[in-house]
Amino acid sequence: MSTFSSRCVLAIFTMAAFTAFQIFFLRNRATSIVVPGIVEQNNLQKKLPSALIIGVRKGGTRALLDGIALHPLVRIVRHETHFFDINYGKGIDWYAEQMPSVGENEVVIEKTPAYFTNLKTPARVFQMNPGMKIVLIVRHPTYRAISDYTQVFYNKLELNKALPNLEKEAFTFWNGTQVLDDTYKPIRNSLYDIHISNWLKFFPLENFLILNGDVFRGNPYSELQKLESFLGLEHQIDHSQLVFDKRKKFFCFKKTTRIRCLGESKGRKHRPVSQQVFQNISQLLAPHNERFFSLINRTFLWD
Ligand code: A3P
């Protein structure tokens, strides 16, 4: 090859490499939620979520995800990826693969309730996207703990394991005084103040939408409207899409003609707990609730 033609080949190669670099760089800079390198057909592309439903477990997270999926511009990740708590080592490409392929204006939401209580998650989310919109749906923490305990009870029953008793698990003694056993997860998950303060080390309150799970259960429409606004979307979910199921005593969700209700493990009868145990747990949770209220500048009626 002559010197002239080898220079031409080199120049063409350099230009191509530079253009490829520019495309990669600009795509990353334009929006941090588009996944570089993963572009699919028909103008659909993989997008990392711009909002996460982080919990709280048993707060109504699944119903909230199914509810917001009624919006035409919202695409959800149906399964819990557990990326930021368990699967982080699999890398961002693995996380991107879990995402739906979406159009440019569509918003992706993922929910994994374990994120709220996992110590490492806030820093990891912040590192990926400091502008992440964080949705937390909370519920009366004593009922939440009983719901959590009920779920653990039935999971153990299915696996033929020893069955827990809330009265024994919920409390321990410290200097001769009865206190909550914060190593028991159904109790620990209800210490909202501890978990939110871990998140507030990384994100300001403006990044959060905190929804009331007790309101949402009976009136999903009002809380879904708040979520639509928080996501920067027009209100497009209609009352007619929220269909009350008399047998289940819960709302179900109608996207097209199909009505989707949650499975039997959601809204099942709680394990019986004595009034005394209920009161003891509530009393010991009260200071945690107060601290939670002051951290989020808002109160809930959780007497
Ligand atoms: P219970 O089983 O204690 O009634 P999560 O999806 O976060 O695990 O939350 C489960 C809770 O969602 C259920 O708790 C139930 O009360 C609540 N929930 C709210 N709306 C619901 C709906 N439309 N269908 C079923 N459960 C719903």
Question: How many contiguous H segments (helices) and E segments (strands) does the chain have?
Answer: 11, 13
What distance in Å separates the CA atoms of residue 44 and residue 97, rounded to the nearest whole number? 14
Dist. CA 251 → ligand 1 center (Å): 10
DSSP output for 100-155: PEE-TT-EEEEE-GGGGG-TTHHHHHHHH-TT-EEEEEE--HHHHHHHHHHHHHHH
**Apex CA 36: angle with CA 31 and CA 38, to 5°?**
120
**Which amino acid appears at position 162 of this protein?**
A
Amino acid at position 295, single letter: L
| pLDDT score recorded for residue 17 | 47
Q: Kindly state the helix (H) or strand (E) to which residue 54 belongs, with its residue range.
A: strand 51-55
Mean pLDDT of 137-166: 98
240-291: per-residue pLDDT in tens? 999 999 999 999 999 989 999 999 999 999 999 999 999 999 999 999 999 9
Q: Is the CB of 251 under 6 A from ligand 1?
A: yes
CA of 266 to the centre of ligand 1 (A): 5
Average confidence (pLDDT) over 71-100 = 98
Give me the mean pLDDT over the 232-238 stretch.
98
Average pLDDT over residues 85-106: 96
Query: Distance from the CA of 30 to the center of ligand 1, in angstroms?
Result: 38
- Take residue 2 and report the two structure tokens written for it: 């002559």
Checking if the pLDDT of 301 tops 70, the result is: yes
- The pLDDT score that the predictor gives to residue 4 is 46
Give the pLDDT score at 22: 38
> Is the CB of 57 inside a 6 Å radius of any atom of ligand 1?
yes
Does 36 contact ligand 1 (Cβ within 6 A)?
A: no
51 Cβ neighbours under 8 A, 6+ residues apart: 107, 108, 109, 110, 132, 133, 134, 135, 230, 231
Interval 59-70 mean pLDDT = 98
Amino acid 262: pLDDT: 97
Exposed/middle/buried for residue 278 (C-beta within 10 Å: 0-12, 13-18, 19+) = middle
CA of 59 to the centre of ligand 1 (A): 7
Backbone angles phi, psi at 205, to 5 degrees: -55, -30
**pLDDT value of residue 20:** 44
Pocket test for ligand 1, best of 58, 135, 242, 248 (most atoms within 8 A of CB): 58
pLDDT attached to residue 303: 84
Closest C-alpha to 43, from 90, 105, 135 = 105
Whole-angstrom distance, CA of residue 64 vs CA of residue 46: 23
∠ CA 122-127-133, rounded to 5° = 60
Average per-residue pLDDT for the chain = 90
Q: Is the pLDDT of residue 8 over 60?
A: no
Per residue in 11-40, pLDDT (tens digit) is 444 444 434 433 333 333 333 467 765 666
Answer whether residue 5 shows pLDDT above 60. Answer: no
- What's the confidence (pLDDT) of residue 42? 73
Average the pLDDT over 52-68 and give the result: 98
Q: What is the β-pairing status of strands 45-47 and 74-76?
A: unpaired
Answer whether the bond into residue 56 is a cis peptide, omega within 30°.
yes
- pLDDT value of position 40: 66
In whole angstroms, how large is the CA radius of gyration of the chain? 23
103 Cβ neighbours under 8 A, 6+ residues apart: 43, 44
What confidence tier does 121 reach under pLDDT thresholds 50, 70, 90? very high
Residue 145: pLDDT band (50, 70, 90) is: very high
Q: According to the model, what pLDDT value does residue 37 have?
A: 58
Residue nearest ligand 1's atom 12 by CA? 60
Say which residue, 27 or 161, is predicted with more confidence: 161
Other beta carbons within 10 Å of 58: 24
Output the CA 243–ligand 1 centroid distance in Å.
15
pTM more than 0.85: yes
The number of the ligand 1 atom at minimal distance from the alpha carbon of 151 is 2
Q: Parallel, antiparallel, or unpaired for β 171-174 and 177-180?
A: antiparallel
Using the Cα atoms of residue 44, residue 50, residue 51 and residue 52 in order, give the sign of their dihedral.
positive
Per-residue pLDDT tens for 190-226?
Answer: 999 999 999 999 999 999 999 999 999 999 999 999 9
